Amino acid sequence: MEWSFLLVQALSGLASASSLFVIASGLTIVFGVTRIVNFAHGSFYMLGAYLAVTIVPWLLEFDRSPTLFFAGVLASALAVGALGVVMEVLLLRRIYRVPELFQLLATFGVVLIVQDLVLLVWGPVDIPGPRAPGLRHGVYILDQRFPAYELFLIFVGPTVLALLWLLMHRTRFGVLIRAATQDREMVGALGVNQAMLFTGTLFLGAALAGLGGALQIPRVSASAQMDLSIITEAFVVTVIGGMGSVPGAFVAALLIGLLQAFGVLVFPKITLVLVFLLMAAVLVVKPWGLFGKPEAAAGRAVLPEGILDPRPLDLAGKVLAGVALLALLALPLVDAYAVKVGTEVLILALAAFSLNFLVGNGGIVSFGHAAYFGLGAYGAGLLVTKAGLPMEPALVAAPIVGGAFAALFGFFVVRLSGIYLAMLTLAFAQIAYAVVFQWVEVTGGDNGLVGVWPSRWAASREVYHYLTAALTVAAIIFLRRVIHAPFGATLRAARDSAQRADAIGVDVRTHRWLGFTLAGAAAGLAGGLYAFSKGSIDPTLLGIPLSVDFLSMILLGGIQSVLGPVAGAAAFHAVKDFFMPLTDHWRLFLGLSIIAMVLVFPRGLAGAWASLRRRPA
Amino acid sequence: MTLLAAEGLTKRFGGVLAAKDVTFALNAGEMLAIIGPNGAGKSTTFNMVGGQLKPDGGRVTLAGQEVTGMPPREVCRLGVGRTFQVAQTFLSFTVLGNVQMALIAHHGQTRKLLADAAAMHRDAALALLDRVGMAAQADRPVGELAYGDVKRVELAIALAAAPRLLLMDEPTAGMAPAERAALMALVAGIARSEGIGVLFTEHDMDAVFAHADRILVLVRGEIIARGTPEEVRADPEVQRVYLGHSGTRAAARARRAAHG
């Protein structure tokens, strides 16, 4: 390999690093002040690109000058900043005090809404942007041609860093941002106008995301998939750098940009995996990232959001559970479509229940639970299609595969807590997704695999429905038993006070790891059953949207309730099944519903049922 | 017999020497208080004994066995119960459930998947709650209790491990004066009747001078005086840097009130 080639490779790594930093700096500043991890940051990036491909060509009609090009880019960034203000005023200021799971979900609701709005305004076709006047040529570096625009991008990152430094150290607003990042309560106590500070921070953060997106238009077309792909990378950068640290984000972006540029030479297919491995390694050594600080412990103990004191079902609860079970078993009397939906509800109920075993019972907020569901499905599917095994051993393998990967990823996950833990589960899920997506020879890539059919005896919809019912109900009853057993109680104890659990002799980390593995195995079983019910598998079974669906189910059912997630899965799936064919704007509807649930209905169906029961007759 | 021995414990946080060559011993059934102004290194010393912090130098032995640097859960299994400056309980559990959980952990049953946790060790847990005067509130959620009662529940949790040694970091912090005296009398009674050693830090001089058998005075990470309450109270250096004159008189009053 020639030196000139390596140099060019390094330069293109620096260009990506620079772009990544501009975006991630906004995310990390917003997190530092508001303590909210803003999923919609990726949407701001996407909006920046879409606005730029609209505004910039219009401006260039007047005069093809670099000035107008960059004026258009800046205008796009400022417009996105204004959208950030809208989001802060309408949504974020209502959720600063709710648990982080709810914050993450609410901002993900915004992601869904923006996706549909972008399609509505700009249509489904990718829109290429104009090239930058004056920077369209290539520069020759040691005989290698290198685009001038990329060279320009390399300087954008350090410039933004310098400007942010000036802002943070030379202006009152910046000093307040730094103060709030260190101690939000104290800044409030000093009489600072918090509302203005938070709104201003969102403007800055969103504008940086918009700038990052607008600067990309000469390189990549604006497309509706930009948001989720960039947000995971931005998460990784902020987590590695330390959440809230701008210099940390800069260093992390450099590391990742260079790792990707050179990683692609050595492992062309798994650059994404390398990035996440770097993140896992950093978090194991420095759990709060390179430049991050541990979260200050809450001054007073608060009741955790989750399952409190599980009690045996009372008579009404038993009747309700019995009726629901009988109804599911009687579905074959209705029609084939009802059976199909019923089978899916059972499978999703198990997946949701296993997720709430972690979230509600263990306080372990997993944002990538679909990974174990999907890996179980792929484990079973590959055994059938590639190894030629029948359904029975494949269904045994599904929970083993799900559990094994949960054990592997969980080993790192349980070392962290709170928002870092959620980010790491998300990162691992994205690794799994990327591997399944890119390893075309084995997994079939984007198209997935077909021909995952049940054995002959279980081939009819009705028989498969009963098989699914037997396995999922047994698994749910087992997990429910575990919640009431010492192991489940120990997970709740560790959630309430890890310090106290440690002091009574509990190995907190090991118990959380075992719990994570058990939940992964249950999700794997659900995934295996799902594969055979569809006859096919594809990478969406591991994707973030499905993980969010699971979270929405437990939120809808009520995370403080043991059996609520089952009801939540049924309600969620029924509504989705009914509405999705009726509307082109399912995501808009789902996003608005998630936000509505977080704002007005945070205890879910089980909470509504409980308050109904408590009402005097 | 020496239950707990700390030899030359040293801990540095950056440039600050939080504990320097701290050496002391504690016998079974004895109550040893560590006092000193804020930032003297009391909690640091305490956390090095309990396993929450690893010392930079020195060693800790429990009944002759070295426990230096062991994590808290292992220190606990060797018979050390612990209470915290801000009471740590399992907020989502009932009072009874908290003690049951501690007993489940003590019996190594935390990995059981099928037993009914709510039915385990009920009687033993109730007996422990009875000892701290909380049996009547067994079924209430611990989050509803007054803070003084939470501290009693925390004591029952610590006793569930059948400890030889109790580590109590400011046991009466945040409590009303009447509650403080009652809690310290309760601890002293349990310690004496069962031969449990108690190491505690405390800002409340009434609690210290009324119940401690011996006192260590820590200032800027170093022990500047040690001895019986009378000796410490009379020590001119202690009077100068910590107690002051009114504090010395208060200490004498507290001692008389408790012992007549």
Question: How do residues A349-384 score in pLDDT, each as one tens digit?
Answer: 999 999 999 999 999 999 999 999 999 999 999 999
State residue A409's pLDDT score.
93
Q: Which residues contact A564 (CB under 8 A, 6 or more apart)?
A: A356, A554, A557, A558, A604, A605, A606, A607
Tell me: the pLDDT tens digits for A302-328? 677 788 878 888 888 889 889 999 998
CATH of A14-136+145-285 among 3.40.1130, 3.30.70, 1.10.3470, 2.60.40 = 1.10.3470
Give the nearest partner residue to B72 out of A303, A308, A503, using CB atoms. A503
3-state helix, strand, coil in chain B (%, to 5): 45, 25, 30
pLDDT in tens, A457-514: 988 999 999 999 999 999 999 999 999 999 999 999 999 999 999 999 999 999 999 9
Query: How much is the mean pLDDT over chain A?
Result: 89
- Domain annotation covers residue B244: yes
> pLDDT tens digits, residue range A501-519?
999 999 999 999 999 999 9
Whether B78 is in a domain gets the answer: no
d(CA A93, CA A83): 14
Q: Which residues of B touch A488 (CB under 8 A)?
A: 117
Q: Could you give the CA distance from residue B80 to residue B64 in angstroms, rounded to a whole number?
A: 14
pLDDT at res. B205 = 83
Closest CB to A301 among B91, B111, B160: B91
3-state DSSP assignment of residue B197:
strand
Could you tell me where the beta strands, DSSP code E, fall in A87-206? 138-141, 144-147
Q: Tell me what pLDDT residue B246 has.
A: 67
**Where along chain A do its domains lie?**
14-136+145-285, 337-543
C-alpha closest to that of A109 among A540, A543, A552:
A552
Query: In what helix (H) or strand (E) does residue A151 lie, and over which residues does it extend?
Result: helix A148-170
Please name the residue ranges forming H helices in A485-563. 486-496, 498-503, 508-534, 544-557
Tell me which residue range forms the domain holding B252. 1-69+198-260
- Is position B105 within any domain? no
- Span A403-424, mean pLDDT? 90
Amino acid A295: pLDDT:
66
Check residues B139 and A138 and name the one with the higher pLDDT. Answer: B139
**Is A504 close to B76, i.e. CB distance below 8 A?**
yes
What is the mean pLDDT of the segment spanning A220-237? 88
pLDDT per residue as tens digits for the range A4-54: 888 888 898 999 999 999 999 999 999 988 888 899 999 999 999 999 999
Helices (H), A535-543: none
Closest CA to A44 of A220, A222, A211: A211
pLDDT higher than 80, residue B248 = no
Dihedral Cα B151, B156, B157, B163, nearest 10 deg: 120
- Which residue bears the tokens 């794997």? A524
Q: For residue B16, list its beta bridge partners.
A: B13
Angle ∠(B81,B82,B86) on CA atoms, nearest 5: 155
Q: What is the pLDDT of residue A298?
A: 47
First vs last C-alpha separation in chain B: 29
Q: DSSP state, B239?
A: I
Q: What is the mean pLDDT of residues B199-223?
A: 88
Q: Which residues of B touch A308 (CB under 8 A)?
A: 92, 141
Q: Does the pLDDT at position B253 exceed 90?
A: no
Residue pLDDT, tens place only, A161-214: 999 999 989 988 888 888 888 877 778 778 788 888 899 999 999 999 999 999
Q: Which of B74, B91, B113 sits opposite A485 (nearest CB)?
A: B113
Evaluate if residue B187 carries a pLDDT over 50.
yes
- What pLDDT score does A252 carry? 95
Residue B135 domain-assigned (yes or no):
no
Looking at the DSSP assignment, which residues form a beta bridge with residue B216? Answer: B34, B226
CA–chain centroid gap for A271, Å, is 19
Alpha carbon distance A320, A341 (integer Å): 20
* The model scores a pTM over 0.90: no
CATH number of the domain residue B18 falls in: 3.40.50.300
Is residue B122 a part of any domain in this protein? no
Full DSSP string of A374-402? HHHHHHHHHHHHTS---HHHHHHHHHHHH
pLDDT at A420: 83
Residue A296 has pLDDT above 70, yes or no: no
B94 contacts A505? CB cut-off 8 A: no
CB A7 within 8 A of CB A141: yes
Cα A539–Cα A540–Cα A546 angle in degrees, nearest 5: 140
In a domain, B165, yes or no: no
**The pair of three-digit structure tokens given for residue B134, joined into one six-digit string:** 């909380």
The residue of chain B nearest to residue A491, with distances taken between CA atoms, is B110
Q: In this structure, are residues A528 and A377 in contact, taking their beta carbons and an 8 Å threshold?
A: yes
Rounded Cα–Cα distance for residues A344 and A322 (Å): 19
Q: Which residues contact residue A198 at a Cβ distance below 8 angstroms, ignoring those fewer than 6 apart?
A: A33, A34, A88, A92, A93, A96
d(CA A496, CA B37): 31
Task: Report the range of poorest mean pLDDT among A264-273, A427-436, B73-82.
Answer: A264-273
> Count of domains in chain B?
1
Distance from CA of B58 to the nearest CA of A (A): 22
What pLDDT shows up at residue A1? 57
